[in-house]
Structure 1
């Protein structure tokens, strides 16, 4: 947004000041210690958010913004709502509408309160917009969270394995949500059905299930062909996808699927669960295959089809990138958001 001559003030809560932003972005970071975190998802106590409200009110008074835009309705959305500032935009991102309101009647009330205070509400996917509609009668705008297709693209990179090795891979945290255990079971089936082919499985990411997944790979007798690569900085992810021949996403649930977009932008065909926002990204049989969630055999069958047909892999990969460029290009999505800002500002100034 900086290149559009928009002043951006980014308010956040965390231990460290975030890196990687344009130097003209004004970052206001209220430090939160580890002791204030709870649960496995690292969520902050709501009281900690509320204690930061005076900082936000002071900031609003100082900079006099044209718009406040809160990302994540159940946390920063609550802070934005409590400023009583308008125009007030809210973007939902997943857990804030799928999980948060189901915890208790209070959680549900908080979400409804935030959405009631919002002048505009946005979602990155249709499925998440539909979920959000359970808590508000307002219109939900859909603006995808796109990818930079000049960063995520096909590139020539040194291979990790032999040239004739087919590499299956995924870039996801090793948690229950992403169904990595089903991918290991599918990989076992693939190895048994294609014993003469060199096939490796590259798992990029870290998480609470790492030890149990490594143990499962040993029990399935596939550990020699499974690489637990660990987590990588986001700027290294394009290189990872260019090491992979077929991307596999066996998630049991997804609100959208940015990783799918990144793989597709790198011209990788993919096999993914038919859940959440995945069908909005993958055209089944055209840019990849959608499979039944939690079904290793279904995953294996589609991966085997792609392994046995190189021309299909290439065709699907090219179609996948074309779809991303046309529908999920980061720059276009940013322009959509700016257009929304301008509509509201012009309407207010009339």
Structure 2
């Protein structure tokens, strides 16, 4: 089969910065190629038009057309022409696109087009309890209504999205995946009482709750250290350009002495930082199905994460991690402290977490599920 992914981001030095969406596409593409299929990635919002190949993936860079008031429509038409050209040349059979901002709303490709719900702007605004731009909501709804098929990375995301847009379309749940060969347990000894958060520093991921949680941990375990890794982001609600700056004043003076923000680190080094951690924490309010959780689970790490919505689809509370609401600072801290003190419990959680990743979130497993879905739309 010949599958193409249409996306605004992809993790490669030529295509610019990428987040979880781009990583999930790369993992799925790699899994599909391992199963003997051909993959193309069409990346818009690029600085130039170009084509290159990397690890058997053909990447098409697409420069947006900039004309005041017409940029989106003209860029969509440009992308449509490329898709149809590749389809006629038998270089693709089906296209998958994300739901974010509804870029495919007015595409009319000659091949089937399916959308994977990784969380639309409307979805995240709903979870964040903030208004969504009318334009984005309109485009996202129109794109979903016109799609030949819809995949969701979690049942929770599917249910919320269908309710928000009043969709009647059947949705198939296929989770995000990782390359488990890149997240093997390493012979790196975890540092004593080291708590790791990795991901974007932003309000919706619970970063303004984390200082209060760590303050509680610090009162009980004064030697515990908190390591933060990820891109700093602005906080629109507070009118701040830096979530990290907003966080600092929330720590007690004693707790802040044991906090270390490393900023962005190369993706290739994330595994080593996870391996060094005693416990990983993810107090987020808004996700679809977070790849970061799966990466930590694959490296057999004990996790304390948010108990909201999608969470039970990743972590089984008390079996391969703990789930706690991010605003319940004392309870959240107590679970961290319990894991810091109990090595056998950490090991039990870690082994169970790795087992679940291998069965549910390995890219070959997810690639097979995706292929079965695609086949429904090919004649």
TM-score bracket, shorter-length normalisation: 0.7 to 0.9
Q: Secondary structure at the match of 2:210?
A: helix
Kept in 2, the 8 Å contact 1:256–1:276? The answer is no
Deviation of 1:314 (Å): 0.7
Q: 1 CA distance for matches of 2:61 and 2:216? A: 49
Check if 1:211 corresponds to 2:283. Answer: no
| CA deviation profile, 1:151-205 (whole Å, cap 9, x unmatched) | 112112376xxx5x2111110111111112322212111121234xx31111111
Distance change (3 Å), C-alpha of 1:254 and 1:57: closer
Q: 2 CA distance for matches of 1:20 and 1:126? A: 36
Q: 1 CA distance for matches of 2:317 and 2:323? A: 6
Deviation of 1:74 (Å): 2.6
- The residue aligned with 2:62 is 30
- The residue aligned with 1:42 is none
Q: Secondary structure at the match of 1:181?
A: coil
- The residue aligned with 1:296 is 329
Distance change (3 Å), C-alpha of 1:190 and 1:20: farther
Distance change (3 Å), C-alpha of 1:12 and 1:100: farther
Distance change (3 Å), C-alpha of 1:5 and 1:154: closer
- The residue aligned with 2:85 is 62
Deviation of 1:89 (Å): 0.7
| CA deviation profile, 1:2-37 (whole Å, cap 9, x unmatched) | 34443333212234589997343222212359xx8x
Q: Secondary structure at the match of 2:181?
A: coil
Deviation of 1:307 (Å): 1.5
Q: 1 CA distance for matches of 2:310 and 2:266? A: 24
Structure 2 residue aligned with 1:116, among 145, 148, 159? 145
Structure 2 residue aligned with 1:8, among 28, 39, 57? 39
Count residues in correspondence: 327
1:70-219 equivalent positions in 2, closer than 5 A: 70-78=97-105, 81-99=106-124, 103=132, 106-134=135-163, 135=165, 136-157=167-188, 165-195=192-222, 198-207=223-232, 208-217=242-251, 219=252
Structure 2 residue aligned with 1:340, among 356, 370, 373? 373
Q: Secondary structure at the match of 2:101?
A: coil
Q: Secondary structure at the match of 2:208?
A: helix
Gaps of 5+ in 2: 1-31, 233-241
TM-score under structure 2 normalisation? Answer: 0.79
Distance change (3 Å), C-alpha of 1:304 and 1:32: same
Kept in 2, the 8 Å contact 1:68–1:85? The answer is no
Deviation of 1:60 (Å): 2.7
Q: 2 CA distance for matches of 1:105 and 1:76? A: 14
Structure 2 residue aligned with 1:272, among 305, 308, 316? 305
Q: 1 CA distance for matches of 2:52 and 2:225? A: 33
Deviation of 1:327 (Å): 1.0
TM-score under structure 1 normalisation? Answer: 0.85
Kept in 2, the 8 Å contact 1:167–1:245? The answer is yes
| CA deviation profile, 1:291-315 (whole Å, cap 9, x unmatched) | 1221211111111111121111111
Kept in 2, the 8 Å contact 1:188–1:220? The answer is no
Gaps of 5+ in 1: 37-44
Structure 1 stretches of 4+ with a deviation exceeding 6 A read 17-21
Q: 2 CA distance for matches of 1:187 and 1:209? A: 16
Q: Secondary structure at the match of 2:209?
A: helix
CA RMSD in angstroms, aligned pairs only: 2.6
| CA deviation profile, 1:281-340 (whole Å, cap 9, x unmatched) | 110011111112212111111111111211111111111111111111111101211222
